[in-house]
């Protein structure tokens, strides 16, 4: 019995009736003769085996690699590697957004200023689930120069070309570069490291500094937006929407189709998609930097930004930000503001914020006030009243007793 038909039968675990299973397997034997007994057995065991590889559509003739390179305005730099270079002048726009903002080096909280070159990076891969069977068939990087964005993409058109493409990428990097990605910390970079290892290359780039813009975007807008995909960044931060974009999820099929059938239309769109991703990444970096300078204009989560500044030892900046926007703050923002004011010794302002919060029933603030009145203003009566507003936990009771003692002592002394 043939292996293919045996396999197809073995796999017939669906709800097919016996008769149908039989006729299916007969059909597969009759209409699809296979000369190999082993494969026939396999097919029989797997009656509804997938046949994605079999239907070859012949709508357009296969596009040879050289012709594909030409369509993409790139050139073959090694067998199966097409390099596409492009200079996007900063005088232009991206989706209506002026690129002039890129003239200034973007800076996020906690970043040292300086002369690090930012290398924006994005990959297109053969699958989203990761693992060593997934590779990056398209790797794009961009660096911002004085008057233009210099964008380079390496597209491989065969598996054997991967090492050459990875080496070409590694060659443009220097130790002083800083990679900038979108979700690259958990996706693109680990995948590239894995590919370098698979190809027996050393992934030296893994020691480079790396900024994953997804994290600051989540930090500043995670509570504001439904999701933090790059497309949302474009829409909400950069203010444009892509037209006729090929979804990233269709990238694997596009590449497979080119390898199997030479059909390049979808693959060409993947290259465009990747180019767009990288440019958006560069612009988003600048926009984020801008949003931090003018948080009000970008609907930034002020508390999150202040917290970020505070975590980066920019405490004064954080306080100034919160003070300037004190009326627009959420409760957490106000608590942080009061805390920063207290740390700076601005007691009256801190008390004012606590009192606002206390009026809203914030227990933490009432306790703060109790402490303030006990130790700073020495208004023991006020401290007592604060304690009475708090649930009688052992700590509070202890404080209350201590205040009572102090009051008695004061009265006796008086």
Partner 1 sequence: MSTPAEKLVPGGTAPAVDPAEALAARLRAQYAARITGELVIPAKHGQYVALPQDLDARLRTALAGRGVKRLYTHQAAAWESVQAGKHTVIVTPTASGKTLCYNLPVLQAALHEQAKALYLFPTKALAQDQVAELMALNEAGSLGVRAFTFDGDTPGDARKAVRTRGDIVVTNPDMLHQGILPHHTKWAQFFESLRYVVIDEMHSYRGVFGSHVANVLRRLQRICRFYGSEPRFILCSATIANPAELAGELINTGVHAITDSGAPQGAKQLLLWNPPVINPDLGIRASARSQTTRIAKQAVQRGLKSIVFAQSRLMVEVLTKYMKDAFDRDPRNPARVAAYRGGYLPSERRAMEKKLRAGELDCVVSTSALELGVDIGALDVCVLNGYPGTVAGTWQRLGRAGRRQRTALGVLVASSLPLDQYIIRNPEFFLGASPEQARIDPDQLLILLDHIRCAAFELPFRDGDVFGKEDLGEMLTYLQEHGVLHHEGSQWHWMDDSYPANSVSLRSVAEGNFVVIDTSCGAQTVIAEVDYSSAPETIYEGAIYMVQSAPYQVERLDWEGRKAFVTRTRADYYTDAIDYTRLKILEEQQSESAATPNRAGDGAPTGPDDSNVGTAPGRNYVSTHRGGDGVHAGHGDSIVGTAAGVGTAAGRDYVSTHRVGDGVHAEHGDSMVGAASPPRLSGLAPAGGASMVSRGEVHLVRRIVGYKKIRYYTHENVGYGHIDLPDQEMHTSAVWWQVNPAALDATFASRQQALDGFLGAGYALHIVAAMRMLSEPRDIGRAVGDGNADWFATVGASGRGQLRNSDGEAVDPLALQRFTPTLFLYDNYPGGIGISAPLFDNRETIVTGAQALVAACECAHGCPSCIGPILASDEVRGYSPKALALQVLGLLARHAS
Residues that bind partner 1 (CB under 8 A): 1, 3-4, 6-7, 9-18, 21-22, 25, 36, 38-39, 41-47, 49-54, 126-134, 158-160, 190, 193-195, 197-198, 252-253, 256, 259-260
Taking the least distance from each CB to partner 1, the nearer of 120 and 258 is 258
Hunting for tokens 């996020």 — which residue is that? 108
| Least distance from partner 1 to the Cβ atom of residue 49, Å | 5
| Least distance from partner 1 to the Cβ atom of residue 256, Å | 5
> Residue 180 pairs with which residues in a beta bridge?
120, 211
| Least distance from partner 1 to the Cβ atom of residue 210, Å | 16
Quick one: which H or E segment has residue 104?
A: none
Which residues does 354 contact at the CB level (< 8 Å), separation at least 6?
Answer: 338, 365, 366, 368, 369, 372
What does the block give as tokens for 395? 């700590």
Taking the least distance from each CB to partner 1, the nearer of 86 and 199 is 199
Taking the least distance from each CB to partner 1, the nearer of 134 and 356 is 134
| Least distance from partner 1 to the Cβ atom of residue 50, Å | 5
| Least distance from partner 1 to the Cβ atom of residue 35, Å | 11
| Least distance from partner 1 to the Cβ atom of residue 207, Å | 15
Per-residue HEC secondary structure of 163-231 comes to HHHHHHHHHHCCCCEEEEECCCCCCHHHHHHHHHHHCCCCCHHHHCEEEECHHHHHHHHCCCCCCCCHH
Output the furthest CA–CA distance in the chain (Å, rounded): 112
Distance CA(309)–CA(327), nearest Å, equals 19
Taking the least distance from each CB to partner 1, the nearer of 46 and 123 is 46
Taking the least distance from each CB to partner 1, the nearer of 251 and 284 is 251
For 37, list phi and psi in degrees, rounded to 5.
-65, -40
- Cβ atoms < 10 Å from Cβ of 31: 7
3-class state of residue 409 by DSSP: helix
| Least distance from partner 1 to the Cβ atom of residue 387, Å | 38
| Least distance from partner 1 to the Cβ atom of residue 31, Å | 14
Cα dihedral 338, 343, 346, 347 sign: positive
What does the block give as tokens for 369? 């006030």
Distance CA(321)–CA(341), nearest Å, equals 12
| Least distance from partner 1 to the Cβ atom of residue 74, Å | 21
Q: Is 332 exposed, middle or buried (0-12, 13-18, 19+ CB in 10 A)?
A: middle
Taking the least distance from each CB to partner 1, the nearer of 157 and 289 is 157
Taking the least distance from each CB to partner 1, the nearer of 160 and 344 is 160
- Alpha carbon 259 to its chain centroid, in Å, reads 29
Taking the least distance from each CB to partner 1, the nearer of 135 and 237 is 135
Taking the least distance from each CB to partner 1, the nearer of 41 and 307 is 41
Q: What is the DSSP letter of 108?
A: -
């Amino acid at each position: 019995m043939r292996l293919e038909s045996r396999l197809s039968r073995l796999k017939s675990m669906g709800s097919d009736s016996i008769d149908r299973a039989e006729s299916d397997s007969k059909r597969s034997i009759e209409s699809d003769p296979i000369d190999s007994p082993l494969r026939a057995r396999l097919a029989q065991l797997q009656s509804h085996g997938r046949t994605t590889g079999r239907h070859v559509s012949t709508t357009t003739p296969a596009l040879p690699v050289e012709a594909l390179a030409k369509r993409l305005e790139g050139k073959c730099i090694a067998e199966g590697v097409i390099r596409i270079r492009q200079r996007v002048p900063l005088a232009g726009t991206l989706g209506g957004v002026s690129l002039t903002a890129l003239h200034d080096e973007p800076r996020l909280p906690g970043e040292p200023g300086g002369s690090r070159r930012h290398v924006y990076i994005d990959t297109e891969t053969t699958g989203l689930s990761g693992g060593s069977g997934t590779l990056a068939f398209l790797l794009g990087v961009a660096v911002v120069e004085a008057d233009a964005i210099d964008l380079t993409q390496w597209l491989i058109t065969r598996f054997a070309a991967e090492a050459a493409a990875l080496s070409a990428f590694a060659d443009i990097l220097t130790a002083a570069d800083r990679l900038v990605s979108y979700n690259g910390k958990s996706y693109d970079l680990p995948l590239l490291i894995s590919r370098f290892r698979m190809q027996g290359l050393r992934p030296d780039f893994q020691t480079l500094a790396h900024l994953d813009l997804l994290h600051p975007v989540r930090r500043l807008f995670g509570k504001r937006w439904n999701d933090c995909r790059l497309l949302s960044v474009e829409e909400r931060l950069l203010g444009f929407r892509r037209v006729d974009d090929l979804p990233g999820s269709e990238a694997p099929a596009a590449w497979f189709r080119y390898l199997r059938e030479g059909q390049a239309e979808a693959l060409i769109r993947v290259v465009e998609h990747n180019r767009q991703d990288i440019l958006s990444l560069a612009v988003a970096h600048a926009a984020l930097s801008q949003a931090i300078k003018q948080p009000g204009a970008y609907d930034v989560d002020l508390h999150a930004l202040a917290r970020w500044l505070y975590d980066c030892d920019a405490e004064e900046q954080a306080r100034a930000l919160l003070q300037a926007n004190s009326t627009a703050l959420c409760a957490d923002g106000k608590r942080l503001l009061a805390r920063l004011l207290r740390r700076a010794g601005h007691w009256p302002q801190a008390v004012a914020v606590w009192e606002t919060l206390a009026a809203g029933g914030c227990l933490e603030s009432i306790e703060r006030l109790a402490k303030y009145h006990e130790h700073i203003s020495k208004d023991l009566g006020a401290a007592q009243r604060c304690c009475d507003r708090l649930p009688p936990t052992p700590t509070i009771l202890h404080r209350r007793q201590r205040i009572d003692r102090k009051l008695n002592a004061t009265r006796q002394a008086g």
